[in-house]
Amino acid sequence: MMSKRYFLKTAVAAAVALGAVLAAPWSAAASAVVERWGSTEIALSGPSAGNPFMEVELSATFRQGARTLTVAGFYDGDGQYKIRFMPPETGEWEYETQSNRAELSGRKGTLTAVAPSAGNHGPVRVKNTHHFAYEDGTPFWQVGTTSYAWAHQTEALEQQTLATLAGAPFNKLRMAVFPNQDVKNQPPRFPFPGQPPKGWDLTRFNPEFFRHIEQRVGQLRELGIEADLILFHPYDKGYWGFDSLPADVNERYLRYVVARLGAYRNVWWSMANEFDFLKAKSMAEWDSYFQIVQASDPYQHLRSIHNAFVFYNHTKPWVTHVSVQSGAIAEDFERAVLFRDVYNKPVVYDEVKYEGNFSRRWGQLKPEEMVLRFWEGAIAGTYVGHSESYEDPNGLVWLGKGGVLKGQSPPRLAFFRKILSESPPEGLEPIDKWQNHPFAGKHAQYYLGYFGLGKPRSWPFVLFKTGLKDGMKFRAEVIDTWNMKVTPVNGTFEIVKRDDYTFADKNGRSIALPGKPYMALRIVRVDQ
């Protein structure tokens, strides 16, 4: 059975394709009413002479009682300046602007933040060390996908991508801010004014480019999808020069992006994709870029960095969670769990190869292999990301450009996400990671097991000891993860201590299994 959310998103897909699902409008500036974790915008007219991007400084201090937040403003072209605010609490907020230009400084106002509307749970945060939740406490079970350059395509193709996402199971999308030369098309707009390929004025930004990114991030927000924004990537390959900008330009770019997009609750910051392929940037430089984003973001959105072959030191305090590329680590739970223990943070295997028939080895997963990685990652207490790379005569590959999904994994991932949503809200924790025990859950309460490529015909009802006592009772279900079927097991299982490590059914019973791969078990305590 598919999740209700999956069918709901499918139902609105056509509306998205027609542009009916748009970014929520910005609230008016003064005396605005805006929902908590919504966005309001202060728009000011100011100087347009000279170079406002370099010469004008603007911010506002928002105050509620003893709490203050300082939010940077930005120049939006044509003499227009903007400051965007995402209220972290309900109630009245006062603000006052600060600027090195008199006409922009000392502007005061108030706004009222009301209770969030349905579906607005706030930004995603780290919860319980290894997991995620929205700020209101609602669990966030990450089931993400990647489409690097989807927001740099034609209007028709981008609308098609939004329609696809509306009917897909994904709640996070990794996407690049800079265009991607790998997709072999001229993007309709660029981040700097000038003439391609390299005739850029790097002292100015192109507001139209960033408005377009904002529009797409806002549309993802309306669909309930987190936008994991990749701030740098190596896929320019020197063509436009965005992969080798001077450090001072990179720093201004980061501050500008955060000022424009920080008030979107669904934003995550990914410092780079395959950061180690950007050879000109040192580890110290990456550290400084992390620190700039951290210092510039009043809302402290999640921050990560993605690797090719060299790992960043994810223990550093500005890294909120671990983003990993590995072709093999999520093939089994015993490998996948290791990064949790090393970094003691949430681990997202954002790239585990892709479903498809691409010529390169990273794009040749069978759909069964893609789904297996999600389940193995979950049993390890980690999270996994999807994409697909099916050959297309017109070059319309989801990984690069978006469009439509062609693979068989998405409906199975919708089923997987539904199973996760029925799990303990604290997150799935490995039950006995010391010795080949393919179960995660919550001790003495909930167990989710996955047998992967194994083909067991039965499973003896034996549970690891933590939290267990004689006489506890459990019910069980057999889950066919590929055919998306849940079959209850008749009766209940009452346990007794078997040895120093385990408890077992008091009558020595086993659960019958069909002897095929991709099977799972769900065991839930019933005598509470």
Domain containing 439 — which CATH number? 2.60.40.3950
What is the rounded CA–CA span in Å between residue 330 and residue 317?
A: 25
Per-residue model confidence as pLDDT tens digits over 89-135: 999 999 999 999 999 999 999 999 999 999 999 999 999 999 999 99
| pLDDT score of 29 more than 70 | no
Q: Are residues 348 and 206 in the same domain?
A: yes
Q: Which of residues 114, 137, 170 is at a domain's end?
A: 114
Coil/strand/helix, residue 508 = coil
Closest C-alpha to 217, from 282, 283, 265: 265
Q: How far apart (Å, rounded) are the C-alpha atoms in residues 121 and 318?
A: 24
- Report the distance separating Cα 397 and Cα 158, nearest Å: 13
Is residue 15 pLDDT above 60, yes or no? no
- Strands 124-127 and 80-85 come out as unpaired
Cα angle 387-189-76, degrees, rounded to a multiple of 5: 110
What's the pLDDT band for 27 if we cut at 50, 70, 90? Answer: very low
Instruction: Give the strand pairing for 172-176 and 388-389.
Output: unpaired
Q: How far apart are CA 131 and CA 127, in angstroms?
A: 5
Same domain, 201 and 311: yes
Domain match, 284 and 416 both: yes
Residue 23 in this model has a pLDDT that exceeds 70? no
Q: Cα–Cα distance between 111 and 527 in angstroms, integer?
A: 50
- Give the pLDDT score at 17: 39
Alpha carbon distance 386, 399 (integer Å): 9
Give the separation between CA 236 and CA 187, rounded to whole angstroms. Answer: 12
- C-alpha span between 257 and 213 (Å, rounded): 10
Question: Tens digit of pLDDT for each residue in 181-214?
Answer: 876 778 999 999 999 999 999 999 999 999 999 9
CA distances from 147 to 126, 158, 190, 516 (A): 24, 11, 18, 33
Burial bucket for residue 165 (CB in 10 Å: 0-12, 13-18, 19+) = buried
Do 238 and 374 lie in one domain? The reply is yes
CB atoms within 10 A of CB 159: 18
With 0-12 CB in 10 A as exposed, 13-18 as middle and 19+ as buried, what is 507?
exposed
Give the angle subtended at the CA of 253 by the CAs of 249 and 257, to the nearest 5°.
175
From the centroid of its chain, how far is CA 297? 17
**473-488: average pLDDT:** 98
Q: Is 401 in the same domain as 436?
A: no
Alpha-carbon distances of 57 from 186, 261, 524, rounded to whole Å? 33, 18, 58
* Residue where a domain stops, chosen among 93, 114, 135: 114
Residues 266 and 313 occupy one common structural domain: yes
- Classify residue 462: in a domain, yes or no: yes
Q: 61 versus 395: which is more confidently predicted?
A: 61
Fill in the DSSP letter of residue 330. G
Distance, in Å, from the CA atom of 85 to the CA atom of 34, rounded to the nearest integer, reads: 10
Q: pLDDT tens digits, residue range 422-446?
A: 999 999 999 998 888 999 999 999 9
Domain span at 258: 124-421
H-helix or E-strand spanning residue 43: strand 40-45
The proportion of the chain whose per-residue pLDDT surpasses 90, expressed as a percent, equals: 91
pLDDT in tens, 485-507: 999 999 999 999 999 999 999 99
* Res 18: pLDDT: 37
* Separation between Cα atoms, residue 354 and residue 516, nearest integer Å: 24
Q: For the chain, how many structural domains are there in total?
A: 3
173 C-beta neighbours (distance < 10 Å), count: 28
In a domain, 455, yes or no: yes
Tell me, what amino acid is at 396? L
Task: Report, as an integer, the average pLDDT of 466-482.
Answer: 98
**How big is the chain, counted in residues?**
528
| 8 domain residue, yes or no | yes
Sign of CA dihedral 418, 423, 427, 429: negative
Whether 227 is covered by a domain: the verdict is yes
Q: Give yes or no for residue 8 having a pLDDT over 50.
A: no
* One-character DSSP codes across 120-152: ---SEEEETTTEEEETTS-B---EEEE-TTGGG
- Asked whether residue 371 is domain-assigned, the answer is yes
175 and 137, same structural domain?
yes
The Cα–Cα gap between 462 and 506 comes to 10
And the tokens for 329? 């680590």
**462 and 396, same domain (yes or no):** no
Residues 72 and 165 in one domain: no
**Residue 20 confidence (pLDDT) above 50:** no
CATH number of the domain that 239 lies in? 3.20.20.80
Angle at 303 between CA 348 and CA 163, to 5 degrees: 65
What average pLDDT does this structure show over 398-422? Answer: 98
Whether 119 maps to a domain, the answer reads no
**DSSP state letter for 241:** S
The average pLDDT across 321-344 equals 94
Question: Which pair of tokens denotes residue 465?
Answer: 């000891």
Average pLDDT over residues 248-263: 98
Q: Please, which residues have CB within 8 angstroms of residue 142's CB and are 6 or more apart in sequence?
A: 132, 171, 172, 348, 383, 385
The CATH number linked to 36 is 2.60.40.10
Give residue 404's pLDDT: 98
50 DSSP assignment? S
- Same domain flag for 67 and 133: no
Q: End of a domain among 421, 441, 469?
A: 421
* Per-residue model confidence as pLDDT tens digits over 344-385: 999 999 999 999 999 999 999 999 999 999 999 999 999 999
- In terms of domains, do 381 and 441 share one? no
Backbone torsions φ then ψ of 286, nearest 5 degrees: -60, -40
54 in any annotated domain = yes
Residues 68 and 150 grouped into a single domain: no
Note whether residue 426 is domain-resident: no
Q: How sure is the predictor about 19, in pLDDT bands with cuts at 50, 70 and 90?
A: very low
Task: Write the pLDDT tens digit of every residue in 40-55.
Answer: 999 999 999 999 999 9
The two three-digit tokens of residue 517, written as one number: 């791969």
What global pTM score does this model have? 0.94
Listed residue (20, 25, 56, 59) closest to 40, CA to CA: 25
C-alpha to C-alpha distance for 200 and 197, rounded to whole angstroms: 8
